Structure 1
Amino acid sequence: MKKLVLTGAAGRLGSYLREPLSRMAEELVSTDIAEDIGKLYDGERYVQADLAQYDAIAPVLEGADMVVHFGAIVDEKPFEELLGPNFVGSYNIWEAGYRAGVRRIVYASSIHAVGMHKKADFIGVYAPHRPDTFYGLAKCFTEDLGSMYWDKRGLESVHLRILSAAQVNNPRALGSWLSYDDLIQLVTRAVDTPSVGFSVIYGVSNNDRCPVDNAKASFLGYRPKDNAEQFAEAVLAEASPADLSDPGEMCHGGPFAKVDLGQSGIAQMSIVDDRKKS
């Protein structure tokens, strides 16, 4: 590829994607609302832009072959706060991408698009939407947006329903963990698979306790290698017994399935900010 665009480049997951993506195209254009993202990799260029402003983000996509769209507010917030970056921002990426002739968009969707499904149901990629929050609703919106742009305009997209790409420090993560190495493989396969149409795939490692079924997305070639079971003994030794009446314990969305709409789900978690330094 000549040009690849990464949104959300200043975020924790974006920090791990920048270097491998810089090797997949002649030019990687990284973008975010942050003033800068530190030292750039060979072939990488940074552009500060607000996803919610079409006139700001559209020029970034001009001449791009593909977009890896990880930019968003990554937590539950009141709807009004999410509307710009998470809803309008997605529309801006798809519309600007279509007008610019982009071939494919790889989107950081989330388990929270289906977060109210029970973990015991072992849902697949065709499970109906059951968002747990306004944040999850934005993921549903963007998945449907991607489906519509494929059906009506032929713009390919892969929607990565990431479960939890963070250090394993709680029982839920023993099933939901996505290691950074597997994240990189997942995004790479979404970029280099020859034809994807509109596709959904769960972003999860090869965990013994994995609660979702990726079988119908196997054509994308994603074969995760890491397994959270290596952390099980230490995590379970400190865990309290599960409350079977708690949706945060029983549903895919974890804490997001439990909080009131508009209230932070991240605040109920212990996520370590271990972003990669360039």
Structure 2
Amino acid sequence: MTLPDLAPAAWLLLAVAAILVGVSKTAIPGINTLSIAAFAAVLPARSSTGALLILLLLGDAFALLSYRKYAHWPTLLRLIPAVVTGLALGALFLALADDTWVRRVIGVILLFVVAFTLWQRARRAASPPQLPVGDGAVPQSGRLAAGGYGTLGGFTTMVANAGGPVMSMYFLAARFPVHAFLGTAAWFFAVINLAKLPISIGLGLITPGLLSLDLLLAPGVILGAILGRWIAERIKQRAFDWAVTVCTILGACYLLIA
């Protein structure tokens, strides 16, 4: 299994990106877009997608270990039809559009989702705070929101592994507490990424050389997951919300100008 021939600076960038993958899974989901950008800058597009998927799955495992009991299952079940629709639309879009259009369309979608979510939260500013999941709380997002966010999430994850920011905005709009947010996101992305694994293998996106690369980068994901868990236990709800929002905006801007 031959490793990619990369410069020291490229290895450093990938190592930082691997740490951010771990942090994104256990603390700040939106920051994962920076990892996508780093991998795409260092590796060919197809290789970056395959290599990152394996690391995302490792991060998913740590997220489930940390937050699996906090998931809000009614929300996850409500998303299934819309996500499947989004995946199908994403596959169709990939067949018709080139890479530039893919990035720009997703960037525009993300900025729209951020703006809509902030507007929605401003309207609800006077409403009571969300109770912890498990104590009778019901997320303040109905079927229409689930349909919209779910479709966009399925679409973006299919075409560019960029479903994280969209779904982060959905969980943010639902006004989940930090742990409920992370638990629901953990199950959602673990299932989606597992479903994408055989497809990626079939398309030749995952090669022995990339598996060797992932093996070297795996400690970074583990370190990031541990660091993220430390952050999640200490971060305030307002700071968490804004961190997710800012990272999503940065990711959208990258996709627009890349």
Larger relative strand fraction:
1
TM-score tier after normalising by the smaller chain length? under 0.3
Higher relative contact order (CA 8 A, sep 6+): 2
In the superposition, the TM-score normalised over structure 2's length comes to 0.27
Larger relative helix fraction:
2
In the superposition, the TM-score normalised over structure 1's length comes to 0.26
